[in-house]
C-alpha cells in the first residue's frame, strides 16, 4: 500500500509504512500469535492436570499418620511413578553413602531407656538371658554389646533387654540397636494398619486396642507394603493375604511360641495365631543367607547393596525374638548384625528412614513411651493412635493365661 500523492508538491506517492513500522507491526502480530498458542497450551495443560491434582489432593486428604512429604513420595509410588522414586533414592543414597574407615566413635549414646529395678534372685533362679554381643571392632566401647533390661518387668523379672553394638569393622561409627524379647514371658500380636494390608478384615482399631494396653510392653514395625513385599498375612487363622511358600515369615502359635521360618505349603494356616511374611530369610542356620550377595533384591525400592535404614527380626536358639535396626545398612550387613545379636533365623522388616520403629512402654497402660530406635521421623506414641501400616505388639504373658491376649480386634 502507498500513500496518496502530495497535492501541494505533486510528489509521487510514498509507502504506507516505513520498513521499521512494518517490522514492528509484524513483531506485535507474532507476539499475539505466540500468546494465543501459549494460552491454548496452558488451558490444555491445566485440563489434563486437573485429574492429577484432584487425585493428589484426595490422596493427601485421607487420614494418615505419615508426614506430608513422605505421603507425597508414597503417592508417586502408588501411581506408576515408583521407577522415578527408586532411581532418585538410589542416586541419593549412593551419593551420601558413608565412607569406610575413620576414627569411629569413642562413646556410646545413652540406651536402655526407663526400666523397672532388676530383681534380686538366687543364681539357681536366674532365668536365661542372652550373652553379650561381641563388637566387630577389636576394642569394644564401654557397655557395647551389654544387654540391659528395658521397660516393664513380668512376674518380677525383665521381659526385654536392649543393647547397642557395632557390626562392621569397616564402619566404626555405625551403630546397631537391638532388643531381645523373652518368649516365655511375653506374647506377640499383629494388627492391621489403616491401609496395610489392603484386604484386612476386620481392620480393627489400627492401633494398640485400649482394652489391651494394660498388658502392652512394646510395639515395633512390620514389613513392606503388601504390593511391594508380596507376602502373606494371617491373624487368628484368617488369611487376609495368601501365603507364599519360601518366604521368610514371623509366626506365633496358640501356646505363645514364636518363630521366624521359611514358610511351607504344608503348614495349615489355622495352626498359627499370626503369620506375617516379607522377603526370603536373610539369616539361615545362624548365618547370613548366601543369596544376599547375589543380584536378588531384598527390597522393592532399594537393592540389597544400598545403605539405608533397615530393620529385621529373628529368633535365637531358645525361641526368643531379637529385633535389630540400624542406619546405613545393606541387606548383608543387617543380616550380619542379626547373627551377631544371636539370631539363628531372621527376616528383614521395613526399610528406609521413615519406618523402623521400636517403642517401649515404661509403665502399664502404654504410659511413658520411649524410643529404642532413634527414628526422628516417628514419635514414641506411634501405634497409640491409628497408623497407616500393620505392626507387632509385645504383650506381657498373663499369669496362667494361654493364647495371645493382643489379637482380639476390639
pLDDT at 152: 96
CB 221 within 8 A of CB 355: yes
Q: What share of the chain is helix, strand, coil (3-state, %, to 5)?
A: 25, 25, 50
- Report helix, strand or coil for 170: coil
Q: Which residue has the higher pLDDT, 113 or 220?
A: 220
High-pLDDT (> 70) share of the chain, %: 84
Q: Which residue has the higher pLDDT, 18 or 270?
A: 270
CA-based nearest residue to 188, from 157, 149, 220, 229: 220
pLDDT at 289: 94
Averaged pLDDT, 3-22: 59
Is pLDDT at 138 greater than 60 in this prediction?
Answer: yes
Averaged pLDDT, 326-340: 95
- Report helix, strand or coil for 141: coil
Average pLDDT, the chain: 85
pLDDT confidence band for 122 (50 / 70 / 90): very low
pLDDT at 4: 47
pLDDT confidence band for 286 (50 / 70 / 90): very high
CB 255 within 8 A of CB 314: no
pLDDT confidence band for 254 (50 / 70 / 90): very high
CA-based nearest residue to 370, from 383, 359, 385, 382: 359
pLDDT confidence band for 139 (50 / 70 / 90): very high
Lowest-pLDDT range of 163-172, 306-315, 400-409: 400-409
CB 246 within 8 A of CB 262: yes
Averaged pLDDT, 400-404: 50
Q: How far is CA 94 from CA 98, 99, 171, 295, 341, in A?
A: 9, 11, 16, 17, 27
Q: Which residue has the higher pLDDT, 138 or 31?
A: 138
Sheet containing 321-329: order of strands: 148-149, 160-165, 176-181, 321-329, 308-315, 345-351, 283-284, 287-288
Averaged pLDDT, 208-226: 96
Q: Give long-range contacts, CB 8 A cutoff, 24+ apart: 138-144.
A: 138/169, 140/165, 141/105, 141/106, 141/107, 141/108, 142/107, 142/108, 143/108, 144/108
Beta strands 160-165 and 176-181: pairing type?
A: antiparallel
CA-based nearest residue to 117, from 156, 89, 86, 169: 156
Beta-carbon neighbour count of residue 17 at 10 Å? 13
pLDDT at 295: 55
pLDDT at 127: 77
pLDDT at 410: 41
pLDDT at 183: 96
pLDDT confidence band for 221 (50 / 70 / 90): very high
What is the residue whose three cell numbers read 550387613?
333
pLDDT at 192: 97
CB 407 within 8 A of CB 189: yes
Residue 26, H or E segment: helix 19-61
pLDDT at 302: 58
pLDDT confidence band for 14 (50 / 70 / 90): low
pLDDT at 381: 97
pLDDT at 287: 97
Averaged pLDDT, 352-367: 95
pLDDT at 387: 97
- Report helix, strand or coil for 311: strand
pLDDT confidence band for 13 (50 / 70 / 90): low
pLDDT at 50: 80
pLDDT at 299: 59
Amino acid at each position: 500500500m502507498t500513500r496518496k500523492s502530495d497535492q501541494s508538491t505533486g510528489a509521487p506517492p510514498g509507502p504506507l509504512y516505513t520498513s521499521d513500522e512494518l517490522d514492528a507491526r509484524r513483531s506485535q502480530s507474532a507476539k499475539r500469535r505466540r500468546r494465543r498458542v501459549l494460552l491454548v497450551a496452558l488451558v490444555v495443560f491445566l485440563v489434563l492436570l486437573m485429574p492429577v491434582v484432584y487425585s493428589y489432593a484426595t490422596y493427601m486428604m485421607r487420614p494418615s499418620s505419615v508426614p506430608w512429604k513422605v505421603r507425597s513420595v508414597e503417592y508417586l509410588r502408588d501411581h506408576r511413578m515408583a521407577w522415578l522414586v527408586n532411581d532418585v533414592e538410589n542416586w541419593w543414597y549412593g551419593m551420601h553413602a558413608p565412607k569406610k574407615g575413620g576414627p569411629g566413635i569413642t562413646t556410646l549414646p545413652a540406651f536402655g531407656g526407663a526400666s523397672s529395678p532388676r530383681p534380686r534372685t538366687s543364681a539357681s533362679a536366674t532365668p536365661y538371658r542372652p550373652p553379650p554381643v561381641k563388637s566387630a571392632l577389636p576394642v569394644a566401647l564401654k557397655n557395647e554389646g551389654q544387654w540391659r533390661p528395658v521397660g516393664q518387668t513380668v512376674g518380677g523379672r525383665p521381659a526385654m533387654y536392649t543393647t547397642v553394638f557395632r557390626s562392621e569393622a569397616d564402619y566404626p561409627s555405625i551403630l546397631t540397636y537391638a532388643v531381645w524379647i523373652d518368649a516365655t514371658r511375653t506374647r506377640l500380636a499383629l494388627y492391621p494398619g489403616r491401609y496395610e494390608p489392603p484386604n484386612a478384615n476386620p481392620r480393627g482399631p489400627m492401633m494398640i486396642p485400649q482394652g489391651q494396653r494394660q498388658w502392652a510392653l512394646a510395639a515395633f514395625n512390620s514389613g513392606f507394603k503388601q504390593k511391594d513385599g508380596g507376602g502373606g498375612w494371617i491373624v487368628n487363622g484368617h488369611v487376609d493375604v495368601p501365603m507364599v511358600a519360601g518366604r521368610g515369615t514371623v509366626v506365633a502359635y496358640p501356646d505363645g511360641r514364636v518363630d521366624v521360618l521359611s514358610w511351607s505349603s504344608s503348614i495349615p494356616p489355622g495352626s498359627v495365631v499370626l503369620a506375617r511374611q516379607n522377603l526370603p530369610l536373610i539369616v539361615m542356620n545362624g548365618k547370613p543367607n548366601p543369596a544376599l550377595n547375589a543380584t536378588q533384591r531384598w527390597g522393592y525400592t532399594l537393592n540389597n547393596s544400598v545403605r539405608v535404614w533397615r530393620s529385621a527380626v529373628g529368633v535365637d536358639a531358645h525361641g526368643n525374638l531379637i529385633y535389630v535396626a540400624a542406619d546405613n545398612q545393606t541387606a548383608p550387613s543387617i543380616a550380619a548384625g542379626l547373627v551377631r545379636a544371636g539370631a539363628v533365623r531372621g527376616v528383614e522388616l521395613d526399610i528406609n528412614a521413615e519406618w523402623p520403629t521400636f517403642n517401649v512402654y515404661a509403665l502399664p497402660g502404654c504410659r511413658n513411651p520411649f524410643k529404642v530406635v532413634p527414628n526422628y521421623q516417628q514419635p514414641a506414641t506411634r501405634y497409640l493412635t491409628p497408623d497407616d501400616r500393620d505392626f507387632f505388639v509385645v504383650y506381657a504373658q498373663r499369669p496362667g493365661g494361654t493364647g495371645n491376649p493382643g489379637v482380639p480386634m476390639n
